[in-house]
Amino acid sequence: LVSAAHIQRLYDRFQLLDRDQMGGLRNEDFEAIPELVTNPIKDRIIGAFLSPGKDMVDFPSFVRVLAHFQPTNSKRSKTSSQEQYNSPTRKLQFVFQLYDQDRDGKISKTEMLQVLQEMLRMEETDEQLQSVMEKAFQEADLDQDDAISFDEFKKSLEKLDISEKMSIGFLC
């Protein structure tokens, strides 16, 4: 999946980020990354690295999460029966998880509004955010159950190039 040289590079990066040499990255280590601190949804991105109930990210988890952001090798994904970490579906699952904070497999209106508030707080009023959210739901919520399932999320986003929208490439 990834070359030895690439693993080595990731490990160097990991050790650099692991300032207290604890063998794992904590919240504070992520907070020390300038590119991440300025990201309006940084807490969600950090949360995506952490497994539930854990407060440290070990090297294997670090590699696993970052694998979502590697460019897709189209030649290899054709021959592989297994879904790759960096396939478009896996990337979408990662983004979906950033929205679905209670991890019930659906994005509720409240969850959508929270993300919009974090991302656009400075520029938009509450009324504007509400209407952006309603519009997103109108387009994505195909069965109109007031929640966006992963399938609905996928359908509405798969035309976009997700990797361009993801802003944590600087970690790799």
Instruction: Return residues touching Ca ion (CB under 5 A).
Output: 100, 102, 104, 106, 141, 143, 145
If you count DSSP H runs as helices and E runs as strands, how many of each does the chain have, helices first?
A: 11, 2
Judged by beta carbon, residue 57 or residue 148, the one nearer Ca ion is 148
142 with 77: CB under 8 angstroms? no
If you search the block for the tokens 């399932």, which residue do you land on?
A: 149
Judged by beta carbon, residue 26 or residue 106, the one nearer Ca ion is 106
Q: What are phi and psi of 24, to 5 degrees?
A: -160, 155
CB of 150 to Ca ion, least distance (A): 10
CB of 54 to Ca ion, least distance (A): 20
Judged by beta carbon, residue 65 or residue 112, the one nearer Ca ion is 112
Assigned token pair, 131: 């209407």
Judged by beta carbon, residue 86 or residue 114, the one nearer Ca ion is 114
Mapping DSSP to helix (H, G, I), strand (E, B) and coil, where does residue 108 land? strand
